[in-house]
Structure 1
Amino acid sequence: GGAVTRNRFDIFNNVTGVGLASAGHTRWGGALGVGWEYGFTPNWSFGIEYDHLWMGRDNAGFAGVVTPGGFVLTGSGVSQDVDMVTLRLNYRFGGYGAPVAARY
């Protein structure tokens, strides 16, 4: 499958808290997952799912930003593969049996 993330990188001065630079953009990658669900009553179920997102490596450039200490910020790289586990408890509204059909 597909995955999308919105990245935002902010650099702050630790002493003053003033923002020095910011960069951000949207990235696309791949996703693969597996899951299992068990219905323990007619309306309730429990599920677990594992997903891995391949987002690759991202480089954020901050060219020309000078910190108060005189350091020049050039950029940084972030490896952004994500592993997610989701647990869920579901309730299905709408009665005990099959869907209601009109009778004439």
Structure 2
Amino acid sequence: MSRQNDVEHLQDLMQRGEMTADQANVQMVRNERFRLVINGLPARVRSALNAAVKSGELECLKKDGHKPECYYHPTFKHLAIAARNRREQEIRQASGCALVRMSEIHP
């Protein structure tokens, strides 16, 4: 299923009262296998995801340096780790590009 189809399906379940917004947020992470937390999360979403971690539905890798926090489906830890490593590498490369002396640009 595509991401758009997943969202529409979960919205339909919520509209029919078969799923809460908290359950939908957890299911979304499970469907996507992992979710990197780049720009923070609303408190309610974080609370739902943390409750899912406590119940064993999800797992979480805490932020570590440039590696972002990541919630993931328990059987896909390897994908979560790889995504975090890619993100860290992107940040390091972007930082390296930005650290150029003005004398190197305009001799």
TM-score by length of 1: 0.25
Higher strand share: 1
TM-score by length of 2: 0.24
Higher helix share: 2
Q: Which has the larger radius of gyration?
A: 1
